[in-house]
Structures are given as structure tokens and as C-alpha cells.
Structure 1
Amino acid sequence: MKPEIQRYNANERTNHWIVAILFFMAGLSGLALFHPALFPLSSLFGGGTWTRILHPFMGVAMFLFFAFLVIRFWRHNKIGREDAQWLKQINDVLNNREEKLPPIDKYNPGQKILFWVLLACMLILLVSGVVIWRQYFAHLFPIPVIRLGALAHAVAAFVLVLSIIVHIYAGIWIKGSVTAMMTGWVSRAWAKKHHSLWYEKVTREKK
């Protein structure tokens, strides 16, 4: 028997996992191209030539699928004044004292900030990636711009990787979050405990 509240539908979950797979593929291929010590990772993609060919296409695909998630979820991730109090009580968050925190909607302020950081990184990676994509676009830009693009690409990738690590850790830390993205469903108790405002809206709509 499924829990009573659906948090994500099949399309949203599929989209999320496609982005996750593309992130790891683009990340590993990017690391292979970043430093000679990591070049052996290119064997996962058929060697250096294929890694150079596939990496930018995987990056573009990741951005496009992520864009669908942005279109679907940006309204839930708008940061409002009510989020300030939650952030002020970050010690309660880190010590898992949820009973002291203000009511939360579908996403808490930490998740919202992460959402916008991910979007910013994705945009920087896309623009800088086009600038340094030698096969098609690099000849359109002067060398200083290409160098700046390579630096921006590396920094954005570094921040993105750190953000995803935080995302994964938070998903494991809050029990039920990973299950929600796997099955799409959560229990009433989980929803009421972690996202009480969202729980009230969903139950009100059902009635």
C-alpha cells in the first residue's frame, strides 16, 4: 500500500534521475580533461578523443533536462521573507530540532538556496562551455575570452560538485527524502513533520 501523499510524479522523477546520470557522466569526463592525473577516467568514455567529443554534448543535455525541472519547480523555490526566520535558526536545523522551526512549504530555505545556486552554476557552465567548445565556437572568441571562459567553467563545475554533495547528504540526512524521489510518495507523518505548510495545502486540496 502506497503512502497517502504524492510528492513527485513519474515525469518529475524520471527527469531528476536523467539529470543525475548526466551530471556524473559530464563530471567524470570533465575531470578526465581537467588534469593529466585524472586522464585515465577517459577510458570510461572510449578514450581521450571520445571524451572530448562527448563531454560538451552531455553538458548541454544535462542543462536542457535541468531546465525542465526549473520550469516545473521555480515557483516552489521563490525565497520570501518568511524564510529569513528559518535561516536565523540554522543551529536548530543542524541539530535536528525541527519542532522549533517555523512551518515550511514544499521546500525549505536551504533547498531553495541550493536550487538557485544549481541554476546559476548550470548557466555559467553552459555559456562558458560554448566559449571553450573548440570544435564549433572557440574560433569566434579571442584568446583572453577563451581563457576566462575556461576559468569560469572550472569554478562553476567545482561549486556545482560541492552543491550536489550537499544535496546528496541532505537527502540521506532527512530520512524519506530519497524514497520520495524513488517512489514519488511520502507518508502523512513525514509531510507534516518536514513540510507542514505544504502538507496543509495538499490535504486541503484533497478535501
Structure 2
Amino acid sequence: MSNKTILRYTANQRTNHWLVAILFFMAGLSGLALFHPSMFWLTNLFGGGPWTRILHPFMGVLMFVFFLGLVFRFWRSNFFIDNDWKWLRRIDRVLVNDEETVPAVGKYNAGQKLLFWTLLLCMLGLLLTGLVIWRAYFSHYFGITTIRWAMLLHALAGFVLILSIIVHIYAGIWIKGSVDAMMHGWVSRAWARKHHALWYREVESQDPPERPVTKKG
């Protein structure tokens, strides 16, 4: 047992996350390929234009389904508490790595919670508008005006989602230890105490799981 590390993500949670990530890139690249002629060359990644049009909506639906898995796992940890609003008012201190003067937060800080709900709204928007413009199965149930609005909103939701994921990736790299947590599941106690003090205290009050020992040689 290690007295220096804490389990942040289980193997199932990490697998769920990376499945969503893979499907996001696949759906995103295929969506960009269909968005504008200048990016149509991306269809080569999926076997050409016809296959891209066929696969894109299925990848989008799968992404939404697996993202729901993350929602069911983490929604309770993403409700705002009083300290989150105080944290937002002190965001300037967070940006200069002065978290000692910032209110303690739980498993996720206010920025992560905002991202969580933004992603959920974007995913819902993409799913609903995507169904409206899915020519093979659903678009014939809607009028041309509805389809045009759905296409516009679909593109807007996709744009916001891509920007949000860019922020997510940047923040994960910027906060050293975050990527490793999603790769291996464990974080140091010092990391947890510094970035998520309320969560650290909660974990410390329970019996933490033992980190498996890897034998060498």
C-alpha cells in the first residue's frame, strides 16, 4: 500500500473517458470533412465521402451514449457549491498558480464543472439536431426550414464543443498530474491537497483503496 497516492479514477471510468475521446476525434474530423469543401480531404480517413456521411452520425450517437456513462458517473460531483463561486472570483490567482489563497474545492473545481455542463448541453444539442438532419432515417419527417435551422445549430454546437475540448486538453496539460491521473488513475496526496482540498479531506476520512504493487524483474 502506498501512503503517497490516492485513487482518482477507476479503470472503468478511465476506459469510459478514452472511448468518448476517441469517438470525439472521429466524429469531429468526419464532421469537419462534411462542413466545408476545403476540409473534404478528411473524408479519406473514413474511406471517402459516402462512407463519411454514413459513419459520422453513428459515431456521433455512440459518442453521446458513452458520454452519458460519464454523466451518470460524475454528475453528483459537478453540482456547484458556495466555494465554487468564490473560486471563480479568485480565478486570477489560480491562473498564476497561487492556489493557497483560493477557497478549497471538491473533486472538481468551478472551471471543470462549467466544462462538464457545457459539454452535456453541446452533446444534447448535437444529438437532437443531428437526428433532424440525418437523411437516411429522420430528415423526411421535418420541413426544410426546420432542417436548415437544425444544420445551423448543429454546426454551432459542434464549434462550442471543439473549443471546450481544446480548453479541456490545455488545462489537463497545464495542471501537471491531471493527464497521468486519467492514464493511470492515481494522484499524489500533495496534488490532491493542493488542487482539490475538500475532496482530499473527504477521501482521507474514508478508507482509501490500496494501490497495486508492480513487481519488477
For residues 175 and 4 of structure 1, the distance between their equivalents in structure 2, rounded to whole angstroms, comes to 15
Task: Give the Å deviation of 1:82.
Answer: 2.4
TM-score, length of structure 1 as denominator length: 0.98
Structure 2 counterparts to residues 180-199 of structure 1, below 5 A: 180-199=181-200
Q: Please give the alpha-carbon distance, in whole angstroms, between the structure 2 residues aligned to 1:119 and 1:183.
A: 25
Q: Distance in 1 between matches of 2:7 and 2:91?
A: 28
Distance across 1 between alignment mates of 2:201 and 2:95: 25
Identity value in percent? 67
Deviation at 1:4, TM superposition (A): 2.3
Q: CA deviation at 1:129?
A: 0.1
1:113 aligns with 2:111: no
TM-score by length of 2: 0.93
Partner of 1:203: 204
SS of residue paired to 1:205: coil
Query: What do the CA deviations read for 1:154-194 (whole angstroms, capped 9, x no partner)?
Result: 00000000000000000000000000000000111111111
Q: Number of aligned pairs?
A: 207
Equivalent residues of 2:87, 2:103 under 8 A apart: yes
How far does residue 88 in structure 1 lie from its aligned partner after superposition?
A: 0.6
- Supply the RMSD in Å over aligned alpha carbons: 1.1
The 8 Å contact of residues 83 and 104 in structure 2, kept in 1 or not, is answered as: no
Q: Distance in 2 between matches of 1:91 and 1:187?
A: 25
Structure with greater helix percent = 1
Deviation by residue 1:131-157 (Cα, 9 ceiling, x = unmatched): 000110000000000000000000000
Displaced runs of 4+ in structure 1, greater than 4 A? none
Structure 2 unaligned regions, length at least 5: 209-217
Provide the residue aligned with 1:58 in structure 2: 59
Determine the C-alpha separation between the residues in 1 that align with 2:82 and 2:5.
Answer: 31
Moved more, 147-156 or 86-95: 86-95
Q: Unpaired runs of 5+ in structure 1? A: none
1:153 aligns to what?
154
Match of 1:33 in 2: 34
Shift of the alpha carbon at 1:5?
Answer: 0.6
> Which whole-Å CA distance do the structure 1 matches of 2:178 and 2:83 have between them?
23
Separation in 1, partners of 2:114, 2:160 = 13
Give the aligned partner of residue 212 of structure 2. Answer: none
